[in-house]
Structure 1
Amino acid sequence: MLEALLWGAIASSSLVLGAALAMVRRWSDAVVGIVLAFGAGALIAGVAFELAEAGVAEGGALAVGIGLAAGAMAYFFADRAVEARSGRRGTGAAGAAGMPLAVGALLDGVPEQAVLGIGLATGDGVSVALLVAVFVSNLPESVGASADMLGAGRSRRFVPLLWLGVGAICTLASVGGRAIAEVAPPALTGVVDGFAAGALLVMLVDAMVPEARAKARDLAGLATVVGFAVAAGLSLLS
């Protein structure tokens, strides 16, 4: 459990790092977009090589398919609920600025890090490729959301505390993933892998890739391919 706690903390530490970077200086949209695109490419590789492939090997195609559908629907409806709530409160209000991104980081961070814990429980060790993908993809989300909240008047104490809380929940998800995998049948492990993959794919298509394209423009595609290549290479080496 301590090992899962350690790796979970490392993966989620980029959320707090992103908040710190936003407080130090203002980053251009182009830089945030390039990092976002790199993280998207890394996550695509993680979905393909670490979640879908490992899930099928562990629990079978049916289990992964069920998990994919459940994860996609769960993220879709949770994200719609967040958007509806922020819309009612007004996106320009200090209370709402940046909060949807923070909740989004929580929604995709929990299944991502649960999979890290599952890898430890099954004896495969931590997936370096998935760890890198999670770490890198968290950064622009945290930087962007933190900048929005600071610009809307949130205190410099509230912002890092918020990300510490999100990071703590995501870290505990790694421990929970390991605990579930130790007692669950292989089919359930496949469902969890599929759930994470489904949630990530919806998040990538609905939010991460469009935002990367809007911010980095023509460089987004190249950065995405570089992120995919790096994560795929790490996955093949591990």
Structure 2
Amino acid sequence: MMMTVVVVLVVSGALLLGALWGIYGKLPRILEGFLIALAGGALIYSLISELIEPSIVQSSLGTAMIAVAVGAIAFTALDYWVDEKWGSDNGGGLLAAITLDGIPENLALGVALIGAGAPEVAALAGSIFLSNLPEAAGGAKEMSEGGRSKKKIFLLWAATAALLSAAAIIGNVALAGVPDHVLAIIRCLAAGAVVASLATEVFPKAYQEDHHLSGIATVLGLVLAYLLGSIAGG
């Protein structure tokens, strides 16, 4: 349980650090886009290696692929609803998208902690941390530019971090006795949702900020995640 708490604090802390970065910090648009794409590439590798591949072993290729597709479809439907309600080009919309993305992501993180070794958990948690940080920074920055008070913006992101922390803890505690093949389906559902969120929320923003180097940054993120995973596992 202690590992769960530590990992949750690290991952959710990225939202708080990102919010502070967006409210008070300043980065060139090119660097911001590069970092977002880098984080997205790292998360792609971790989703495949820590969620999808183990799930195929525990269930089957067909079951895993169907679950990934269902997760992507569910997220896309929710994301469409968010865009219709809040709009896709404002901080509130990004906050809602991160919450919808983060709930299955953190549930999966909690599930991944069940019986997992420290290297595997560290790889997934690190990738989620890198993904959350620039996303939160971008959302908080847009909200700040919209005229909201800095205190209210930070409290809003703090509440989001608390919600996502609860999701990870619930995933770890409530699903501890679930059979492996059921956990495999849950992991793949979450993985599909996160991949869809990368395609609709993360990479478009990275391309908007830095369309020249976003592709290279994505590949670098994937390669770095692979190297870190290899070192941790080897």
- TM-score, normalised relative to structure 2: 0.91
Q: Aligned letter for 1:148? A: E
Q: Aligned letter for 2:94? A: L
Alpha-carbon distance in structure 1 between the residues aligned to 2:125 and 2:34: 19
2:102 is the alignment partner of 1:119? no
Alpha-carbon distance in structure 1 between the residues aligned to 2:10 and 2:28: 26
Q: Aligned letter for 2:215? A: G
Q: CA deviation at 1:5?
A: 2.4
Who is 1:17 aligned against? 17
Which of residues 82, 103, 110 is equivalent to 2:103? 110
Q: CA deviation at 1:187?
A: 1.5
Contact kept? 1:5, 1:172, Cα under 8 Å: no
Contact kept? 1:9, 1:168, Cα under 8 Å: no
Contact kept? 1:37, 1:208, Cα under 8 Å: yes
Q: Aligned letter for 2:161? A: G
Structure 1 122/60 Cα, relative in aligned 2: closer, same or farther at 3 Å? farther
Who is 2:83 aligned against? 83
Contact kept? 2:51, 2:112, Cα under 8 Å: no
Residue deviations 1:133-177, cap 9 Å, x none?
101111111111111111111111111111111111111122112
Contact kept? 1:64, 1:190, Cα under 8 Å: yes
2:135 is the alignment partner of 1:141? yes
Q: Aligned letter for 1:223? A: A
Percentage of matched positions with identical amino acids: 29
Contact kept? 2:46, 2:124, Cα under 8 Å: yes
Contact kept? 1:75, 1:202, Cα under 8 Å: yes
Alpha-carbon distance in structure 2 between the residues aligned to 1:113 and 1:166: 12
Q: CA deviation at 1:33?
A: 0.4
Structure 2 residues not aligned, in runs of 5+: none
Q: Secondary structure at the match of 2:215?
A: helix
Q: CA deviation at 1:108?
A: 1.6
Who is 2:122 aligned against? 128
Structure 1 66/105 Cα, relative in aligned 2: closer, same or farther at 3 Å? same
Q: Secondary structure at the match of 1:210?
A: helix
Q: Secondary structure at the match of 1:122?
A: coil
Q: CA deviation at 1:207?
A: 2.2
Contact kept? 2:42, 2:223, Cα under 8 Å: yes
- TM-score, normalised relative to structure 1: 0.90
2:91 is the alignment partner of 1:101? no
Alpha-carbon distance in structure 1 between the residues aligned to 2:229 and 2:167: 22
Q: CA deviation at 1:37?
A: 0.4
Q: CA deviation at 1:34?
A: 0.6
Alpha-carbon distance in structure 1 between the residues aligned to 2:66 and 2:115: 20
Structure 1 residues not aligned, in runs of 5+: 92-96
